[in-house]
Amino acid sequence: MADNYPYHSPMYAGQMLKPPHPLARLAYGLAMHINPNNHALDGGRASSQMEKEAVADLAAMFGWKRHLGHLTSGGTMANLEALWVAGQLRPGQTIVASTQAHYTHTRISKVLQLPCETIGCDDRGRLDPGLLEKRLKKGGVGTVVVTIGTTATGSIDPLPEVIDLQKQYNFRIHADAAYGGYYMVASSLEREARRSYDCLRHVDSLVIDPHKHGLQPYGCGCVLFRDPAVGRLYKHDSPYTYFSSQELHLGEISLECSRAGAAAVGLWATHRLLPPVRGGAFADNLDTCRHAALALFERITADERFVPGMPPQLDIVTWIPRAASPAAASRLSRQIFAAAAKLGLHLALAELPTRFFGAPTAGAPARKPRSGHEPTVTCLRSVLMKPEHFDAIPAIWSTLDRATRRALAQPAILSRRRQK
Ligand SMILES: *Cc1c(COP(=O)(O)O)cnc(C)c1O
């Protein structure tokens, strides 16, 4: 297990990985001694009750007094369930999501045998409402997926505009807030983003991942439906479960059967210490992450050697090294990534549309775009999802500076050969 990146350290500033809170680890571990199963009350009475309470806390965070929902093994299962319900209510109709939506939406739609299409984004990685309307006019769209915090760049789709279109074109709205959902309680969002969060109460279904920003160990996603009546779609007859009582067994409203009750215990306990509400310590920590991202973005913007991507709407920063062409910038990104790792700073790489970085679109593209796809560039990406990142920005910056100087000192011929 020593063969891992130092996820706990603020110098790990790469992928979307955040260590669970010590309390969550402890509660999860203690519950494991009983190993409750939240499929049915027979398998875990206390942990099922804790799940109902913890899920109600999450629903309340979005302003929902009534809801139907439960925990899942993760965001993918939660999205599958939301789109499964959408497909039953809109049989055969198309699901649309932006080109920056999580890749699993396309795959999930295939599993559900529902048609799926993507809608283009603006230069900040947000679903373009103009292009959405163009598609809606053609008809046949049953569900629009809005992403509240895209996985690559943390961009917030313009939910108010999508809700306006809903009035005219009548479709379901599913919000994939697996990553960004908890920013609901933050107070540092820019106006545009806040508007979208404030509209979340109007969507039909919503997914949030407590194992991303919610300080939980893996195996903790959550799906919420605004209309509890969708519960009827789950109706089935099982001869061997649900004998113990007339109360709601979570397995009656869930696609999955056996699930770790320990995940509910971890989340419930964490909510006691750090309730997901505005103005609390949990919300403060999210604001600190966002300020870390803004601080890094500011330094990158002020440095001639870099071209920043869009200003962060949450806590993800993307940038490329300034170079003669996207191909050269991509090469340099990979060199800086490797040099930084050697110096103990762990960043991530991402393949994003060249236009996200404005100017340097001339010259050879990084990769030949597949037909129908736009040209991309390999960029550097940093997810600053630990509050400790804020105090570490000077250290992150000085290491990035050293790594960049090393990469720029490497002869280009050598690096090109290495690429082959
Ligand atoms: C992470 C993520 C998912 C997938 O969730 P898992 O918990 O990894 O299964 C889906 N959508 C978005 C926007 C995400 O960031």
Count of residues for the chain?
420
Dist CA 393 CA 390 (whole Å): 6
Instruction: State the distance from the centre of ligand 1 to the C-alpha of 212, rounded, in angstroms.
Output: 8
Pairing of strands 94-98, 141-147: parallel
**Look-up: residue for tokens 């996820």?**
7
- Which of 151, 174, 223, 314 most suits a substitution to test ligand 1, by most atoms within 8 Å of the C-beta? 151
Summarised one tens digit per residue, pLDDT across range 356-414 is 998 544 555 556 666 667 899 999 999 999 999 999 999 999 999 999 999 999 876 55
Instruction: State the distance from the centre of ligand 1 to the C-alpha of 419, rounded, in angstroms.
Output: 31
SS3 state at 30 = helix
State how far Cα 110 lies from the chain centre: 21
Pairing of strands 306-308, 348-353: unpaired
Mean pLDDT lowest among 85-99, 172-186, 265-279, 357-371: 357-371
| Torsional class of 310: left (φ above 0), alpha (ψ -120 to 50), beta (otherwise) | beta
Region 347-359 average pLDDT: 93
pLDDT at 250: 87
- Which of 73, 95, 102 most suits a substitution to test ligand 1, by most atoms within 8 Å of the C-beta? 102
Rg of the chain, C-alpha, whole Å? 22
Encode 356-369: b = buried (16+ Cβ within 10 Å), e = exposed: bbeebeeeebbeee
Q: Which pair of tokens denotes residue 402?
A: 């050293």
Question: For residue 272, what is the enclosing H or E element?
Answer: helix 261-273
Phi, psi of 381 (to 5 degrees): -140, 140
Eight-state DSSP code of residue 368:
P
pLDDT at 19 over 70: yes
SS3 state at 53 = helix
Residue type, position 100, single letter:
Q
- Quote the pTM value: 0.94
Summarised one tens digit per residue, pLDDT across range 44-69 is 999 999 999 999 999 999 999 999 99
Instruction: State the distance from the centre of ligand 1 to the C-alpha of 107, rounded, in angstroms.
Output: 13
Q: What is the DSSP string of 204-254?
A: SEEEE-TTTTS-PPSS-EEEEES-GGGGGGG----SSSS-S-SSPPGGGG-
pLDDT at 252: 83
pLDDT at 76 over 80: yes
Instruction: State the distance from the centre of ligand 1 to the C-alpha of 90, rounded, in angstroms.
Output: 24
Eight-state DSSP code of residue 354:
G
Dist CA 3 CA 15 (whole Å): 16
Q: Give residue ranges with CB within 6 A of ligand 1.
A: 74-76, 79, 102, 104, 147, 151, 176, 178-179, 209, 221
pLDDT at 420 over 90: no
**Look-up: residue for tokens 């770790």?**
260
In this prediction, what percent of the chain has a pLDDT beyond 70?
A: 92
- Which of 17, 100, 104 most suits a substitution to test ligand 1, by most atoms within 8 Å of the C-beta? 104
Q: Looking at domain 281-419, which CATH architecture does it have? A: Alpha-Beta Complex (3.90)
CATH 3.90.1150.10 in the chain: give the residue spans. 281-419
pLDDT: which is higher, 37 or 248: 37
Single out the residue of 227, 180, 240 nearest to residue 208, CA to CA: 180
Residue 167: Cβ within 10 Å count: 7
Instruction: State the distance from the centre of ligand 1 to the C-alpha of 52, rounded, in angstroms.
Output: 22
pLDDT at 336 over 90: yes
Atom 8 of ligand 1: nearest residue by CA position = 75
Percentages helix, strand, coil for the chain (3-state, rounded to 5) are 45, 15, 40
**Look-up: residue for tokens 């920056």?**
100
Dist CA 312 CA 124 (whole Å): 9
SS3 state at 350 = strand
Q: Which pair of tokens denotes residue 6?
A: 């130092």
Q: Residue 398: CB partners within 8 Å, gap ≥ 6?
A: none
pLDDT at 91 over 60: yes
Angle 139-145-149 (CA atoms, 0-180°, nearest 5)? 150
pLDDT at 373: 75
Q: Which pair of tokens denotes residue 318?
A: 């993307």
Summarised one tens digit per residue, pLDDT across range 200-254 is 999 999 999 999 999 999 999 999 999 999 988 988 766 665 556 667 888 888 9
In this prediction, what percent of the chain has a pLDDT beyond 90?
A: 87
Single out the residue of 194, 156, 96 nearest to residue 310, CA to CA: 156
Q: Which pair of tokens denotes residue 205?
A: 């279904």
Which numeric CATH code is attached to 22-273?
Answer: 3.40.640.10
Most distant pair of Cα atoms in the chain: their distance: 72
Summarised one tens digit per residue, pLDDT across range 108-141 is 999 999 999 999 999 999 999 999 999 999 999 9
pLDDT: which is higher, 349 or 359: 349
Dist CA 81 CA 259 (whole Å): 15
pLDDT at 242: 59
Single out the residue of 148, 194, 145, 149 nearest to residue 173, CA to CA: 145
Question: For residue 63, what is the enclosing H or E element?
Answer: none
Single out the residue of 106, 150, 96 nearest to residue 124, CA to CA: 150
The answer to whether 38 and 50 are in contact (CB under 8 A) is no
pLDDT at 414: 55
pLDDT at 413: 54
Residue 196: Cβ within 10 Å count: 25
